[in-house]
Amino acid sequence: MEEKKTEEKKVRRDRPDRPKRARNPHRTPRTQKTKVEVPAKPKDNSVKKETTKPQHRKPNNNHPNKKTTKNTKRNKNSMGPLSTDIKTALKANQIANEKRMNPWKQIDISNKNKIRFTPLGGLGEIGGNMAVIEDDESAIVIDVGMSFPDESMHGVDILVPDFSYLHAIKSKIKGIIITHAHEDHIGAVPYLFKELKFPIYGTPLALAMIENKFNEHKLKDDVKYFNYIVKREIYDIGSFKIEWMHNTHSIVDACGLAVQTKAGTLIHTADFKIDHTPIDNQTTDLQRYAYYGSKGVLCLFSDSTNSHNVGFTKSEAVVGKTFDTLFDLAEGRVIMSTFSSNTHRIFQAMQRGVKAGRKVCVIGRSMERNIEIARKLGFVDIEDKHFIEPHEVNRFADNELLVVTTGSQGEEMAALSRMAIDEHRHIKLKPSDTVIISAHA
């Protein structure tokens, strides 16, 4: 029986399905047992037991029975336990967010008043900006802009929004609110006034541009509907309280709107650019935007042009440095084309031209009109002696001339396009000319 058990045991160990373990040659055999005797420490009653831990170990400051020493106090004040630091940081971040972000608890959710925002143009497209804000009592129209047709629209000069909805609610409309003087925000105002007339509220430059359009459309008497606003003042228009807040933009005197309604505050930014170094030192009024943010905003209507692009728009001051370089390199005439409403860009080009000893010649009807209005209101400060008429160009040497004109978008009838095909009456392009197309705002 014992032999059978031994054989079975051997068979079990030598089974092929179980890999053999390599034996360690230095391992002590199981049969040999070693016994290590540790000498006992002699009892010495004169030595007292230490209550502190060995010095080579770090003290446990979190132990409940551990007394706080001066060293641990210093460490606690400087850094503190990790868990305490995290809790403190989270609490500070929460308080900062509550003060800065103004969560929904700032808005009265129990408010049952209703407000309606109806876009009539400018959403999902460039140009034709127009919108209506209304409640049960009043309505206001924000901007009345136009847009330009594409190549497929033969025989069409401009596009204006559909005014049908305004006819339907004309008894509620208390005024037209203008944010700034770009064509895509004011270009269709004369066409609306031929059908419906309402008070117009806007900044001096915007209303001056509209007045010029009224003169062209034989609506001179309708300037009586103009109401000049002052930024940062609140105006009661119908059931709304409206404040114009300054925006930095490619045209001066641009604004965003804070519209206080019974349902809550609406922020309409209109067109804006965050430029901390504008050439007129008039930055976007972020303080007023932040003020309304601290009070709670029901809805934000924001400009989104170029928002899909990575990065940020450069300051307008950067363009001035580029002008300096180009004017220094130019041997002949400098012909600069840009938007007729881009007063900052035009002013910078004129400044550099005058600094370089060049006479300024303005060509293009819209360019001439806008510069005249901007100079009258003090936005372009260039003396009369630096300007010449187009027919006086040939009286000066090429390196003494700066021509500011329209056509940066390649418009077929613009002055630059006619120069390019040699059809302009006064300007014939030469190989020595430096042509600057400053099209990007």
d(CA 298, CA 107): 7
Structural contact between residues 204 and 253, judged by C-beta atoms closer than 8 angstroms = yes
SS3 38: coil
Higher pLDDT, 441 or 88: 88
Q: Tens digit of pLDDT for each residue in 303-332?
A: 888 788 888 888 888 888 899 999 999 999
Residue 15 has pLDDT above 80, yes or no: no
Q: What is the mean pLDDT of residues 248-271?
A: 95
Give the number of other Cβ atoms within 10 Å of residue 297's Cβ.
17
SS3 244: strand
pLDDT number for residue 74 = 43
Q: In percent, how much of the chain has pLDDT > 90?
A: 51
Residue 39 has pLDDT above 60, yes or no: no
pLDDT number for residue 98 = 65
Q: What is the mean pLDDT of residues 287-303?
A: 92
Which residues are bridge partners to 60 per DSSP? none
Burial of 201 (0-12, 13-18, 19+ CB in 10 A): buried
| Least confident stretch, 37-46, 146-155, 346-355, 422-431 | 37-46
Higher pLDDT, 312 or 3: 312
pLDDT number for residue 35 = 53
What is the band of 106 on the pLDDT scale with cuts at 50, 70, 90?
A: low
What is the band of 180 on the pLDDT scale with cuts at 50, 70, 90?
A: very high
Instruction: Assign domain 316-437 to its CATH architecture.
Output: 3-Layer(aba) Sandwich (3.40)
Q: In percent, how much of the chain has pLDDT > 70?
A: 77
pLDDT number for residue 118 = 96
Q: What is the pTM of this model?
A: 0.73
Higher pLDDT, 218 or 316: 218
Q: CB neighbours of 175 closer than 8 A, spacing ≥ 6?
A: 140, 141, 198, 199, 200, 201, 227, 237, 238
d(CA 161, CA 120): 7
What is the band of 52 on the pLDDT scale with cuts at 50, 70, 90?
A: very low
CATH 3.60.15.10 residue spans of the chain: 116-301
Q: Tens digit of pLDDT for each residue in 340-351?
A: 888 889 999 999
Q: What is the mean pLDDT of residues 15-44?
A: 55
| Mean pLDDT (the chain, rounded) | 82
Q: What is the mean pLDDT of residues 243-255?
A: 94
Q: How many CA atoms lie within 13 A of 311 on its CB side?
A: 3
Determine which helix (DSSP H) or strand (DSSP E) holds 13, and give its type and residue range: helix 2-13
pLDDT number for residue 16 = 53
Q: Tens digit of pLDDT for each residue in 395-429?
A: 999 999 999 998 877 677 788 888 888 888 888 89
SS3 content of the chain, % helix, strand, coil (to 5): 35, 15, 50
pLDDT number for residue 102 = 52
What is the band of 50 on the pLDDT scale with cuts at 50, 70, 90?
A: very low
What is the band of 69 on the pLDDT scale with cuts at 50, 70, 90?
A: very low
Q: What is the mean pLDDT of residues 92-101?
A: 67
Residue 14 has pLDDT above 80, yes or no: no
What is the band of 206 on the pLDDT scale with cuts at 50, 70, 90?
A: very high
pLDDT number for residue 18 = 57
Give residue 122's identity as a one-letter amino acid code. Answer: G
Q: What is the mean pLDDT of residues 135-147?
A: 95
CATH 3.40.50.10710 residue spans of the chain: 316-437
Strands 254-260, 265-268: pairing is antiparallel
Q: Tens digit of pLDDT for each residue in 194-205?
A: 999 999 999 999
| Least confident stretch, 126-130, 226-230, 356-360, 385-389 | 126-130
d(CA 113, CA 133): 14
**CA–CA distance from 221 to each of 190, 206, 408 (Å)?**
12, 17, 34
Residue with the two structure tokens 């009070």 = 295
pLDDT number for residue 71 = 46
First to last CA, the chain: 104
pLDDT number for residue 25 = 56
Q: Closest Cα partner for 128 from 152, 155, 150?
A: 150
| Residue 359 tokens, joined | 């006479």
Structural contact between residues 283 and 273, judged by C-beta atoms closer than 8 angstroms = no
Q: What is the mean pLDDT of residues 281-296?
A: 92
What is the band of 17 on the pLDDT scale with cuts at 50, 70, 90?
A: low
Instruction: Assign domain 116-301 to its CATH architecture.
Output: 4-Layer Sandwich (3.60)
Q: What is the mean pLDDT of residues 242-254?
A: 94
Give the number of other Cβ atoms within 10 Å of residue 138's Cβ.
17
pLDDT number for residue 418 = 87
pLDDT number for residue 51 = 47
Structural contact between residues 364 and 406, judged by C-beta atoms closer than 8 angstroms = yes
Burial of 59 (0-12, 13-18, 19+ CB in 10 A): middle
Residue 293 has pLDDT above 60, yes or no: yes
**CA–CA distance from 41 to each of 44, 164, 365, 435 (Å)?**
9, 106, 110, 101
pLDDT number for residue 83 = 60
Q: What is the mean pLDDT of residues 102-131?
A: 82
